[in-house]
Chains A and B, each alone.
Chain A
């Protein structure tokens, strides 16, 4: 068996209204974008800064750039979505009942919305502090 999602399995999932295939595709595409965003984030915050980490003023200066701000917000949204879809995939592999999976979906969605809202709030607050 290889990892490719076959047309037949996609049709079976559609018949069961199972969105795992769509979730997998979102996770894969967000993962590919995250390669660029996370790579940029790590290089910018850990490898080109003297001392290895930005101090307070350097962080504010960095986030005050509108392009960086947009990339960081996108990074939070895609990072949280990718991570929580991964958690869902692991839970799905344990073959939970439909009811359990529904509860897990709601918990992960709520957690994801709170985490993204908090991350965006943090980025906006830091940009305001930077003036």
Chain B
């Protein structure tokens, strides 16, 4: 499965960062890699924001329960669904990346990708429905 590599094609961006966003003619595996990285960046930012928000708990019930009323607004719930997509995609594609990188089933990685991400998408849909209906 090809990774994003430095390119000699003059039509493509030379920067590896810009190359992530250049989807022309890319295979599904390369797009999977790029999306894995984008979700990773999003989840990293969220992790540190989440740790900061949890400090509200140290202010007692007033601080935390006031935050909860904001967290249950439709906008926040939509952001939760976007977060859930990032988590589920990164989690299931990450299992494939870890297994293949360790030499497990690297010949079946396309099947692994569709199988794992397929399971992830089903869980995402179920989770998204639960977020809006809980």
Contact with B134, one of A35, A47, A125 (Cβ below 8 angstroms): A47
Q: Are B100 and A3 in contact (CB under 8 A)?
A: yes
Contact flags A40-52 to B (C-beta < 8 A → 1, else 0): 0010001101111
Q: Are B94 and A35 in contact (CB under 8 A)?
A: yes
Q: Are A3 and B101 in contact (CB under 8 A)?
A: yes
Report the bound CA distance from A94 to B44 in whole Å.
Answer: 18
B window 99-134: CB within 8 A of A: 100-103, 106, 109, 127, 130-131, 134
Report the bound CA distance from A78 to B61 in whole Å.
Answer: 28
Chain A residues, CB < 8 A from B94: 31, 35
A32, closest chain B residue (CB):
B98
Q: Are B60 and A56 in contact (CB under 8 A)?
A: yes
Q: Are A46 and B131 in contact (CB under 8 A)?
A: yes
The yes or no answer to A14 lying at the interface (CB within 8 A) is no
5 additional A-B residue pairs with CB within 8 Å, beyond A59-B64, A83-B43: A56-B57, A76-B51, A86-B44, A94-B16, A119-B51
